[in-house]
């Protein structure tokens, strides 16, 4: 099955790239955009039929490698 994770910087961590994108969107005329946070998206194919097991493995992978818990949060989605 396919499972994905989105890793983003925590709210309290400055995201200069997100800020620049936000500013650029404003310059392009999108006046109603207030905030942009940039993140990373991972799509993983896993040999697993049980959703719970897949989620648990993904959580472990996120904690150990994909995200740095000091500065980043992650959310896991089953596809």
Partner 1 sequence: MKSAVIVFPGSNCDRDISVALKKFQIKNEMVWHDESDLPKSDLVVLPGGFSYGDYLRTGCIASKSKIINDVIKHAEKGGLVLGICNGFQILIETGLLPGALLRNKKLRFISKNVYLKVNNVNNKFCLNYKGKKIIKLPIAHNEGNFFAQEKILKELEDSDLIAFKYCDVNGNTNEASNPNGSSKNIAGILNVNKNILGMMPHPERHIDPVLSGDDGSFMFESLLKSF
Where do runs of H (alpha helix) occur along the chain?
16-27, 51-61
Site map (CB under 8 A) of partner 1, residues 43-72, x = contact:
----------------------xx-x-xx-
13 is a contact residue toward partner 1 (CB under 8 A): yes
Contact indicator for 46, 1 with CB cutoff of 8 Å: yes
Contact indicator for 3, 76 with CB cutoff of 8 Å: yes
Helix (H) or strand (E) holding 1: none
Which C-beta is closer to partner 1: that of 1 or that of 38? Answer: 38
17 is a contact residue toward partner 1 (CB under 8 A): yes
Residues in contact with partner 1 by CB under 8 A are: 13-14, 16-17, 20, 65-66, 68, 70-71
């Amino acid at each position: 099955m396919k499972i994905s994770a989105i890793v983003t910087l925590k709210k309290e961590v400055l995201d200069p790239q997100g800020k620049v994108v936000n500013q650029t969107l404003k310059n392009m005329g999108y006046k109603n955009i207030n905030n942009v946070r940039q993140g990373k998206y991972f799509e993983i194919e896993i040999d697993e039929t049980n959703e719970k097991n897949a989620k648990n493995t993904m959580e472990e992978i996120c904690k150990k490698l994909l995200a740095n818990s000091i500065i980043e949060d992650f959310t896991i989605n089953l596809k």
